[in-house]
Amino acid sequence: MNYVVKSWLLPAFFFLALLAGNSSAESVEADETMRERIASKPQWHALLHVKGQESAISDPKFTLSAPHFSPRAELDALIAYVNASESEATCRFPARVYWLKKQLNNSTKHLDVSECAELNKYINHVPFDSVEIIFASEVLSSASSMMGHVFLKAKGENYRRNEVSHALSFFTEYDTFNPFSIIYNGLVKGMPGFFIVRPYEKELVRYLNTEGRNVFEYTLSLDEDARQLLQLHLWELKDIDITYLFQSYNCATLTLYLLGIVQPEIKVEETLFVTPADVVKAAAKVQLIAQSKVNLANEWAVAALELQLGTRKVNKLKRMLSERKSTDYGRFEALTPLELEYVKRLIAIEQKMTPSDSYKYGDFDKLLDRHEQFQLNRKTAKNPLDTVQDSALSIGVERFNQSERAVLSFLPASHYLRTSEPQFFNESELRIAETQLSVNTQSGNVRLDRFTLYAFESYMPSTQSLPRWSGTLFIGYQQAFDDALNDEGFFSLEGGLGKSLRLHRDVIGYGTAEAGFGTRLSEDIVYGRLNAGLFVNLAWQSSLRFEASVTVSDRVRKPLNHFVAELSAQPNNEYGVYVRLEHFDSGVNKEVRARAGFDWYF
């Protein structure tokens, strides 16, 4: 059963209720001291989604004291609302009424919702016997999924005694493919946000099979009172217009605020830019997580299994599958659990591309059930609990063109290529709103080297069974060289496509072709670039990267050759160091740029 939250109900019923009154209900009384105490409680602020001194949800249907909102004014308005018509107040703001009564009378166990038909229907259909945080892994090339997605899952017995589970998710939709429009709307203007309740299994299938994303499930340790409060508050988001903003109110922000209702301490973990991974880490930090599991997408599992099985066994299994399809599973019984899992996953991928009834998932499960000790190694998945923080401050020094500079970079989200992510099967970089400044140590001149609105590099190796594309994208301001290797800043849009191969368990080779356009007040440029490189993972969370590129541009008469060698090390999840050497050859001039730097992740 789907409950789609959009704004369409008018608040007229509220005003009619205020006029009509409710003489049969017991009035709510609280003196000045008690009101001040209640209004200052973090849990009250979480119920109102208070950010700073305002509610992060500006829809007047969500607040009673608009346009003069404050936590105290909202409390006074709620008390007046309850005293005027308790049934109306309860049906509209059940969580607030329930929580308020708990503050005034600790004996309150359940809220009387007998007069709230729609609320009763929601409670009967969407049980909260258990609550989980769900994290769906990122898709770097998707603006809506570049940092992953986080939401809540509620499950339990419904009114028919059936076990059901529902996804409770906040998201936005795009009506354009224009990257500049998406960035402007997502960062400045805001986009319509939708809060939905729908069957979880459908969501899980979509993430795993359609989008190929791993899904982590974290069960929360919540008592009955906390689960009921959360269930009632989610109803309060029904019919509310919520503005979605990438940097300040996204799926992660809303989920963090929801968790703040049951554990106010978690709001302390709200950072400059809240990401889905931040929510999971914050929940673990305040000890909300009781247990966890991961559901691996078939593509990810196949890549992991091919690394574990090796080329010879994989080829053997593929030959077995290429033979005449049969429902006789006897020939699979001699396979090891690892091999059975690989065959099962590979068939599932083939079924998605070419549906067939030749094989059934359940038949392989029966074979796998015979191996009680079998479990696919899920440590290869990118568990957000084990990743570095996704904001970084970098300080470095470099020498280039006979001058020395201090370099300062701030990355609100998310990570560099040099950031160690040992759980990745691919090498990747995602930069959002990154700023890099340099200071000439001789002259003291400060220069903006780069401002990145949105950029990614993703080098996903093709496997023996799954061809993959690698890709790059950059939108922002960066430097471009001329023949003399003097650089000038341009607003640029560039993108590329290529292939990556795993040459060894710890070595990935790649090649990409890129094209771009840049502009400034006095000049426009068009350019193309060919890249080839290697990533080498070393011991102690260190790595080497080599890259050679050739750029053709109308700023240089001959192709510009560029070579990079970078050594990086990350002793822990809080900081890293790196050394990078670059050689430039324009055919007219040659230069070497050397830089050493320190990264702090927070």
Q: What pLDDT was estimated at residue 182? A: 66
What would the 3-class secondary structure string for 545-561 be? EEEEEEEEECCCCCCEE
pLDDT of residue 221: 96
Tell whether omega for the bond before 67 is within 30 degrees of 0, i.e. cis.
yes
Confidence (pLDDT) at 425: 66
Q: What is the pLDDT of residues 144-200, one digit of tens each?
A: 677 889 999 999 999 999 999 999 988 777 666 666 666 666 666 677 777 888 999
- Please state which of the ranges 78-92, 103-117, 124-138, 523-537 shows the lowest mean pLDDT: 103-117
Q: Residue 76: what pLDDT?
A: 95
pLDDT of res. 18: 35
What is the reported pLDDT for 347? 83
* pLDDT at 15 > cutoff 80: no
* Mean pLDDT across 216-242: 93
pLDDT at 104: 86
The pLDDT of residue 536 is 95
Both tokens of 341, joined, read 């899992």
CA distances from 2 to 195, 240, 243 (A): 11, 16, 21
**Which string of b and e fits 410-426 if b means at least 16 CB within 10 Å?**
ebbbbbbbbbbbeebbb
- Per residue in 17-28, pLDDT (tens digit) is 333 333 344 677
Asked if the model's pLDDT at residue 582 lies above 60, the reply is yes
What are the start and end residues of each CATH 2.40.160.40 domain in the chain?
Answer: 387-601
**pLDDT classification of 340: cutoffs 50, 70, 90:** confident
Please give the residue that has the higher pLDDT: either 51 or 140.
Answer: 51
| Host H or E run for residue 231 | helix 224-236
Which band of pLDDT confidence, cut at 50, 70 and 90, is reported for residue 531?
very high
Distances (CA, A) of 250 to 144, 191, 198, 333: 10, 10, 19, 48
Convert the pLDDT of each residue in 473-493 to its tens digit. Answer: 999 999 999 999 999 999 999
Rounded distance, CA 228 to CA 235, Å? 11
**What pLDDT sits at residue 364?**
60
The answer to whether 72 touches 53, Cβ cutoff 8 Å, is no
Q: Using CA atoms, how far apart are residues 169 and 199, in angstroms rounded to an integer?
A: 11
Helices 276-285 and 251-262 meet at what angle, rounded to 10? 20
531 DSSP 8-state letter:
E
For residue 444, what pLDDT is reported? 92
213 Cβ partners below 8 Å, 6+ apart? 136, 137, 138, 139, 145, 148, 207, 297
| CA-based R_g, the chain, Å | 28
Q: What is the pLDDT of residue 218?
A: 96
Flag whether pLDDT at 375 surpasses 60: no
Q: At residue 304, what are phi and psi to the nearest 5 degrees?
A: -65, -45
Q: Is 257 helix (H, G, I), strand (E, B) or coil?
A: helix
Of 110-114, 224-228, 533-537, 581-585, the poorest mean pLDDT is in: 110-114
Architecture of domain 387-601: Beta Barrel (2.40)
Higher pLDDT, residue 362 or 264: 264
> In 10 A of CB 398, how many CB atoms?
17
- Terminal C-alpha separation, the chain: 40
pLDDT digits (tens, 9 = 90+) for 457-475: 999 898 888 888 999 999 9
Please identify which residue in the block is written with the tokens 């849990």.
43
Round to whole Å and give the CA distance between 459 and 509: 9
- As given in the structure block, the two tokens for residue 146 are 């570049």
Bigger pLDDT: 510 or 377?
510
Alpha-carbon distances, residue 121 vs 53, 130, 141, 328 (angstroms): 35, 19, 39, 48
CA dist list (Å): 467 to 33, 213, 298, 498, 513: 67, 17, 14, 11, 17
Most confident listed range (11-15, 44-48, 401-405, 540-544): 44-48
**Higher per-residue confidence, 490 vs 343:** 490
